[in-house]
Amino acid sequence: MREDMTTGSKITRNAQLNAWIKEVAAMCLPDNIRLCNGSADEYQEMLSLMVSGKTARWLNPEKRPNSILVWSDPADVARVEDRTFICSPSKDDAGPTNNWAAPEEMKQTMRGLYAGCMRGRTLYVIPFSMGPVGSPIAHIGVELTDSPYVVANMIIMTRVGTSVLDVLGENGEFVRCLHSVGYPLVLADGTQRADVSWPCDGKQKYISHFPESKEIWSYGSGYGGNALLGKKCFALRIASVMAREQGWLAEHMLILKLTNPQNEVRYICAAFPSACGKTNLAMLSPTIPGWKVECVGDDIAWMKFGGDGRLYAINPEAGFFGVAPGTSDESNLNAMACLTRDSIFTNCALTDDGDVWWEQMTPRLPAHLIDWTAKEWTPDCGRNAAHPNARFTTPARQCPVIAPEWEDPQGVPISAVLFGGRRAGVIPLVTEAFNWRHGTFLGSIMGSETTAAAAGQVGTLRRDPMAMLPFCGYNMADYWAHWLGMGERSGAKMPRIFYVNWFRKDAEGRFLWPGYSENCRVLKWIFERCAGQAEALETPLGLIPEKGALDLRGLSLAADALDELLSVDIDGCRMELPSIEQYYQQFGSRLPEGLRHELKEFGKRLQS
């Protein structure tokens, strides 16, 4: 038995899993192997390990019970898109929007990096379910990692435990997720070195996906999506490949439940690029009396057809891994309520009374903090206190507006899909697509104007189709073809598609729409469109609310602001046509005919 615990030969009932653990242990050479059970005790042990190893500090239990603050290496603070690879057999299968590497070459390179990379460490085996354990929409993964930070975060973000191994059984399929921070405590020449508070490899990082064998190999980073492999790597990149093969959808979408005053319910999915407030929308507090929003998920939706031909969605995650800066009682009271206890904070600032703080958290700045780099911070020091990509990890069950059915293994039936982005002009507050194919077209050309936080110039349009640009595990043109095919398969039973824009500005650069809680007015119109109630007006871009169809009672909005919000800028659309054509060109002959057709029709509607 002792031998099993260091070689992994019989650690579970699943022979394939045991063989893989054994193979990885022989390569990475950990001192110990530990099978995780996801228990409360194990979670506490991971937190204590991080605290004793100086990775984390306890927050003041009177302020944030059972919560820790972690500061990462300043060079390991975000997903590394330029180090993210789709290793499909052919480069064309990864497509022009992904980095590609040949699978065997990548594996050879990474085997070199993995060799002995866990010396002096424990290899944790994390069996996890993405989605409610045993759900027909869920899938299983196993992450092998040398990071207790990853174990603790995975326990919050996924379902970890022996029940997952029970579902896996002796022959069940699982996605292999291998992760190492790349900081062995014994070097190749045998010399030992002390651990550091945030181990990572400062020189080399790889986040590699093997769509054919459904494997993920991650090396060198301990942060977020680089290391918590269930999230972006599995639930989006690998799952998008599985979804195409098996006829379902794995999407970068929140799922919300909308209830009207008559207690009728509709479920809505929404895809937005980063920095558009997806988590805020998922937990919105409506201002219209009698209407209610509840949260099913804030980041990822897996949708499969039910027996009735409709799409049913689950949230494959069990927690929120949200951007902290900008989160406040004003912007998202429900998220703030999640964070009152049992949470992990990464790269936030530390207050003098042992609590966390980040930019825009409070109306007034604290007089003194320790910033995320452990330096003294005062309001006049000219630096951020929290890193702009500082995060919270918190259990979804702690959300005050989590929908009771958020763990329903059958999922929830989706009535509408929303796309959106940050657009100062051209795009109206809300547009409904004419049909599924037209909606797929709108999703394919969506994008956001860059904000200061993103790389590159401020205000330039960065197309991010279906908010999947960094997350599609195969050729984006084939992904669009899969979307079109899904619509052809289920026709009128597919969700209606809408395009929203909370970020339109007037000539003086002021936001025309108050956004946040007031977005419920748009959600209400969408609900009523799905119920066949609200009126709409045809424009070249799509269907917009008829005058008076948007419920604006109790909202003070200048009359001309509404006109501007609900207008389609025809000249602006015309001017965008060449850039769409140019954008499509990179996909060559793989661009689906349906989208070519939609672009042509759009051009025609703009002429007449």
Q: Does 298 bind Mn ion (CB under 5 A)?
A: no
Query: How is 399-451 classified by DSSP, letter by letter?
Result: -TTB-GGGG-TT-EEEEEEEEE---SSSS-SEEE-SSHHHHHHHHHH-EEE--
Binding partner of 326, given ligand TSX, Mn ion, none, CB within 5-8 angstroms per partner class: ligand TSX
Binders of ligand TSX among 411-440, rule CB under 6 A? none
In whole angstroms, the minimum distance from the beta carbon of 341 to Mn ion comes to 24
- If one asks whether residue 502 binds ligand TSX (CB under 6 A), the answer comes out as yes
- Of the two residues 55 and 393, which places its CB atom closer to Mn ion in the complex? 393
Q: Which of residues 256-295 bind ligand TSX (CB under 6 A)?
A: 275-277, 280-281, 284
Spacing of C-alpha 391 from chain mean position: 13
The site partner of 284 among ligand TSX, Mn ion, none (C-beta below 5 to 8 Å per kind) is: ligand TSX
- Give, in order, the Cα–Cα distances in Å from 469 to each of 87, 183, 208, 273, 274: 16, 31, 16, 9, 11
Question: What are the C-alpha distances in Å from 161 to residues 43, 141, 473, 536?
Answer: 11, 11, 27, 49
485 makes contact, choosing from ligand TSX, Mn ion, none, with CB < 5 to 8 Å by partner type, with none
Size of the site for ligand TSX (CB under 6 A): 14
Nearest-approach distance from CB 83 to ligand TSX, in angstroms: 26
Q: What is the DSSP letter of 318?
A: S
From ligand TSX, Mn ion, none, interface partner of 299 (C-beta below 5 to 8 A by class)? Mn ion
Choose between 382 and 509: whose C-beta lies nearer to ligand TSX.
509
Structure tokens at 24: 């990885």
Nearer to ligand TSX, 222 or 277 (CB): 277
Q: Where are the beta strands (DSSP E) in 434-509?
A: 447-449, 461-463, 496-500
Tokens 């991080």 found at: 50
Instruction: Give the nearer residue to ligand TSX in terms of CB position, either 176 or 387.
Output: 387
Which among 2-10, 160-168, 201-209, 292-300 is the span making contact with Mn ion, rule CB under 5 A? 292-300
How many angstroms separate the CA atoms of 114 and 178, rounded?
A: 10
Give the CB-side neighbour count of residue 16, counting CA atoms within 13 A: 12
According to the binding rule CB under 5 A, does residue 576 interact with Mn ion?
Answer: no
Cα separation, 236 vs 532, whole angstroms: 33
Q: Where are the strands (E) in 479-605, listed by range?
A: 496-500, 536-538, 543-545
Nearest distance, CB of residue 186 and Mn ion, angstroms: 37
Minimum distance of ligand TSX from residue 457's CB (angstroms): 19
Per-residue x/- marks for ligand TSX, 315-334, CB under 6 A? -----------x--------
**Site residues (CB under 6 A) for ligand TSX, limited to 353-412:** none
Active-site entry in 36, 276, 472, 530? 276
CA 435 to chain centre: 26
First to last CA, the chain: 77
> At closest approach, how far in Å is the CB of 279 from ligand TSX?
8
Give the nearer residue to ligand TSX in terms of CB position, either 407 or 464: 464
Which of ligand TSX, Mn ion, none does residue 277 bind to, with CB < 5 to 8 Å depending on kind? Answer: ligand TSX
Residue in 332, 284, 298 with CA at minimum distance from that of residue 518: 284
- Tell me the CA distances in angstroms from 160 to 4, 130, 143, 319, one per residue in order: 21, 9, 10, 12
| Per-position x/- string for 107-136, each x denoting binding to Mn ion as judged by CB under 5 A, each - no binding | ------------------------------
Q: What is the CA radius of gyration of the chain?
A: 24
* CA 383 – CA 367 distance, rounded (Å): 14
Residue 366 partner contact from ligand TSX, Mn ion, none using kind-dependent CB cut-offs of 5 to 8 Å? none
Residue 4 beta carbon to ligand TSX: minimum distance, rounded to whole angstroms = 48
Enter the DSSP assignment of 546.
P
299 binds Mn ion (CB under 5 A): yes
**Closest distance of CB 495 from ligand TSX, Å:** 20
10 Å CB burial of residue 413 (0-12, 13-18, 19+) is middle
Residue closer to Mn ion, measured from CB, 394 or 431: 394
Query: Pattern 507-526, binding to ligand TSX, x per CB under 6 A?
Result: ----x--xxx--x-------
Question: Of the two residues 104 and 511, which places its CB atom closer to ligand TSX in the complex?
Answer: 511
Segment near Mn ion (CB under 5 A); pick from 48-56, 135-143, 237-245, 291-299: 291-299
CB of 178 to ligand TSX, least distance (A): 33
Q: In this chain, which stretch among 123-131, 134-142, 299-307, 479-487 interacts with Mn ion, using CB under 5 A?
A: 299-307
Element (DSSP H or E) covering residue 145: strand 139-145
Q: Which residue is nearest to Mn ion (CB)?
A: 299
- For residues 412 and 205, give the distance between their C-alpha atoms in angstroms, rounded to a whole number: 38
State in angstroms the smallest separation of the CB of 471 from Mn ion. 8
User: Between 143 and 299, whose beta carbon lies closer to Mn ion?
Assistant: 299
Residue corresponding to tokens 């025309």: 512
Provide the minimum distance between the beta carbon of 252 and Mn ion in the complex, in angstroms, as a whole number: 6
Burial class (CB in 10 A: 0-12, 13-18, 19+), 109: middle
Catalytic residue list contains 276: yes
Separation of alpha carbons 275 and 432, rounded Å: 23
3-state secondary structure of 97: coil
Which residue is closest to ligand TSX by CB? 277
What is the footprint of ligand TSX within residues 515-574 (CB under 6 A)? 515-516, 519
Judged by the rule CB under 5 A, the positions of this chain that interact with Mn ion are 299
Residues recognised as catalytic: 276
State the residues that interact with ligand TSX by CB under 6 A: 275-277, 280-281, 284, 326, 502-503, 511, 514-516, 519
